[in-house]
Amino acid sequence: WHVTTPEFVADLSPQEMRAQIKRHIFTTMGHFHGRIKVWDVVNEALAPDGTLAENMFLKKLGPSYIEECFRWAHEADPSATLLYNDNKVEGIGSPKSEGFYKLLAELKRRKVPVHGCGIQAHFNAAGTGLQRPPTPRMVKEQINRLGDLGLSVCISEMDVRVSKLPPNLRQVAQKQIYHDIIAAALTEPAFDGVWLWGFTDRHTWVTHFYYDDEPLIYDEEYGRKEA
């Protein structure tokens, strides 16, 4: 992703980039100090194979940029809860979910002030292979082991795509996935809540990036769906 990073950032020297990131963190968190309690400090820093993504930050700053961002954020607001957030890490078993766990375990080992994590939960009800939604047990086990690291865990961007299913199955399948995943998560003490990635199908990132879909819990006319 990183598609919204301003173009000028790529032209900065490593020293300039580090200074700009620190300035951005202190300016933004300083402005909202005491009003925003939870922050995604670093977002989607992992590649599908679980290694660090070869983005501009890694190329110019090296892997330490993640730790530095958390330390700056904690300095900017010591009372804030700081999260690392990523996609396709909701259940155990995939290379990326293993990389997610190892990254957070290493940050905790180094006493980096990361307090929790977000597992995004952008699901495709018709997905197969690596695109298949995780089972509730896989999600439960992922939350459990992250909790054992001393982290809180939230489902941070949930939606459930259904357009590849037959029309008569869409709402039923969507309701089942929302219910089963959230119900499993709620059984874990480390689970700290769920945030949906929007609420109405009238405004969804899926249509903008991929294709027409109905991934949210209200339809385009703001009517409640089965989910």
Catalytic (active-site) positions: 44, 157
Q: Which amino acid makes up residue 123?
A: F
- DSSP alpha helix (H) spans, 32-80: 56-61, 64-76
CA distance 176 to 173: 5
Rounded Cα distance between 99 and 116, Å, is 16
Instruction: Report DSSP letters for 122-189, one per residue.
Output: EEETT--GGGSPPPHHHHHHHHHHHHHTT-EEEEEEEEEE-TTS-HHHHHHHHHHHHHHHHHHHHTST
- Spatial CB neighbours of 209, under 8 Å, sequence gap ≥ 6: none
For 144-155, the DSSP string reads HHHHHTT-EEEE
Nearest CA to 127 out of 157, 85, 101, 159 is that of: 159
